[in-house]
C-alpha cells in the first residue's frame, strides 16, 4: 500500500511538471496576432526545447523563440543562419504582454529566402 501511495505521489509531481513545461513552450503566452520584427542577430542559443535568438531591432533587444532543431532543419535553416551580425526578418506571434519584446517565430526570412517553421499558422 505504501508503495502505491509513493507511486501515485510521484506520478502527480511528474504530471504537474509536464503540464507546466507544455504551457510554457506552447502558444498560450502569445497574442494570437502576427508581427514582423527585423533586426541583427546579437546571439543565439539553439537546441532543445527550442532555440532562442536575441535580436537588435533599432537599438531595442528582442527575444525570438525559433523551432526545435528538427523543425529548423525541416524549414531549411542552419545554425549558421543565426550567427551574430546576420540580418533576419521574423514573422510570428508576439507576447500578449506588450512590455515583453518577445516573439514566437512562425516564419524567418533571410535574404530572399523564407523559412516556414509552422505551416498553416498564417
CATH number corresponding to 35-116: 2.40.50.1010
pLDDT at 6 over 60: no
Q: How far apart are CA 47 and CA 72, in angstroms?
A: 10
Residue 17: per-residue pLDDT: 42
Closest CA to 106 of 119, 87, 88: 119
Write down how long the chain is: 122
Mean pLDDT of 77-102: 94
Distances (CA, A) of 57 to 22, 37, 41, 46, 110: 29, 7, 9, 20, 15
CA distances to 5, 20, 32, 103 from 11, rounded to whole Å, are: 10, 14, 33, 33
At 90-109, the pLDDT tens digits run 999 999 898 899 999 999 99
- Tell me the per-residue pLDDT of 19-53, one tens digit each, with 9 for 90 and over: 344 444 577 777 788 999 999 999 999 988 899 99
Position 55 pLDDT exceeds 80: yes
Instruction: Return the domain boundaries, the chain.
Output: 1-29, 35-116
pLDDT band of residue 14 (cuts 50, 70, 90) is very low
Q: What is the mean pLDDT of the chain?
A: 82
Amino acid at each position: 500500500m505504501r508503495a502505491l501511495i509513493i507511486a501515485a505521489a510521484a506520478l502527480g509531481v511528474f504530471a504537474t511538471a509536464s503540464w507546466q513545461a507544455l504551457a510554457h513552450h506552447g502558444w498560450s503566452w502569445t497574442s494570437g496576432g502576427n508581427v514582423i520584427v527585423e533586426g541583427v542577430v546579437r546571439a543565439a542559443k539553439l537546441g532543445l526545447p527550442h532555440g532562442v535568438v536575441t535580436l537588435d531591432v533599432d537599438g531595442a533587444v528582442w527575444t525570438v523563440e525559433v523551432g526545435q532543431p528538427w523543425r529548423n532543419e525541416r524549414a531549411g535553416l542552419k545554425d549558421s543562419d543565426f550567427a551574430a551580425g546576420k540580418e533576419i526578418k521574423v514573422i510570428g506571434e508576439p507576447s500578449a504582454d506588450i512590455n515583453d519584446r518577445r516573439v514566437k517565430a512562425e516564419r524567418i526570412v533571410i535574404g530572399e529566402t523564407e523559412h516556414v517553421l509552422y505551416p498553416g499558422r498564417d
